[in-house]
Amino acid sequence: MTSADAGEPVDLRPLLEPIALGRVTIRNRMVSTAHNSRYGEDGLPGKRHQRYSEERAPWRQELMGIVAWRQDQIARLGVDLRLNCRATPERILAEAPDVVILATGGQPHKGAFAGVEHTLSTSEVLTRNVPGGARVLVYDDHGGAQASSAAEYLAQGGASVRLVSPDRSLGEEMGPNNWAVFKQHLYRLGVAIEVDHRLDAVTPAANRLRARIVNEYTEESRDEDFDMVVAEHGTRPDEALYADLTPHSGNGGRIDCVALKGNLPQPSGSDSGFALYRVGDAVASRDIHAAIYDSVRLCHVL
């Protein structure tokens, strides 16, 4: 692996040294060595994620290093990795597994305001070409990097972008490093940032969309017309596979949070059926770090 700036080799050996987490010592800092079959669909990573990283938000493409590094480790450890096939209940049950861990992620959630069906998610925006000069409202009711990334991409394409958030500042859920860089980029691109306001409703107006924007503190409202409205409210867990597998599991798909926090093995449940768990966005709308920590805490005591 090389440095992003100078292309010089980086010593990754410290990442493979033991690290103590409370009373538990993990053999290395980044590898989970459970040799389980892993099903994927459309490859790993998908073309949409590559396009997002390489074209839509180029300064954040280092995130793809997480996926690439883990791909290398999967190959090194000899994990049975199965791509380009859907993980159906029938396929999973045919494996007669002892443990099933679902990382099925979540589906984009745009919120619950009136007229939400007229809006696009940030994921949809990153797969579209937006005409230059289009007037776009990006509504961030999540506080992560998604809405800011979409606003940056749209502005780079020549759109006139207004980024609205009900929070007291932009990117409430982002770390200070990302928050500062995003603001620098957005201001340089001429993105209008408006906090303390919520998107209350979206209605069609001729060939445009009319957005009602409300001040969170005074309840004063105004209507503005846009060519496109983009809304970000995190994700909703993709629970279909979990619901199908739960009746076949011995633990009812439940995670003992006390054991998880204490780095202890999960209770065995009944003698019949496999142990079923969920990690990451398959549980709730979170980030990649949550999925990694969930997996480490579950797998290192299996």
pLDDT of 278 > 90? The answer is yes
Mean pLDDT throughout 130-134?
81
Q: Please, how many CA atoms are within 13 Å of residue 178, restricted to the half-sphere of its CB?
A: 20
- Give percent above pLDDT 90 in the chain: 46
Nearest to 224 by CA among 239, 213, 237, 235: 213
pLDDT at 242: 95
pLDDT at 50: 46
pLDDT of 118 > 80? The answer is yes
Provide the residue count of the chain: 302
Across the chain, mean pLDDT equals 82
Q: How does residue 133 score in pLDDT terms, banded at 50, 70 and 90? A: confident
- Digit-coded pLDDT (tens) for 203-261: 999 899 999 999 999 999 999 999 999 999 999 999 999 999 999 999 999 999 999 88
Mean pLDDT throughout 16-32?
48
Joined tokens for residue 145: 């990097």
SS (H, E, C) the chain: CECCCCCCECCCHHHHCCEEECCEEECCCCCCCCCCCEECCCCCCCHHHHHHHHHHCHHHHHHHHHHHHHHHHHHHHCCCEECCCCCCHHHHHHCCCCEEEECCCEEECCCCCECHHHCECHHHHCCCCCCCCCEEEEEECCCCHHHHHHHHHHHHCCCEEEEECCCCCCCCCCCHHHHHHHHHHHHHCCCEEECCEEEEEEEEECCEEEEEEEECCCCCEEEEEECEEEEECCEEECCHHHHHHHHHECCCCCCCHHHHHCCCCCCCCCCCCEEEEECHHHCCCCCHHHHHHHHHHHHCCC
Mean pLDDT throughout 177-197?
91
Joined tokens for residue 38: 């892993």
Mean pLDDT throughout 92-120?
93
pLDDT at 19: 52
pLDDT of 9 > 90? The answer is no
Q: Extract the runs of DSSP E, i.e. beta strands, from 35-141.
A: 38-39, 81-82, 99-102, 106-108, 135-140
Strands 106-108 and 235-237: antiparallel
Joined tokens for residue 20: 């103590």
Give the three-class secondary structure for 229.
Answer: strand
- Digit-coded pLDDT (tens) for 42-96: 444 444 444 444 445 555 666 777 878 888 888 898 888 888 888 999 999 999 9
pTM score of the predicted model: 0.73
pLDDT at 245: 95
CA of residue 285 relative to chain centroid, distance: 7
Domains of the chain, first to last: 13-107+236-299 (3.40.50), 110-233 (3.50.50.60)
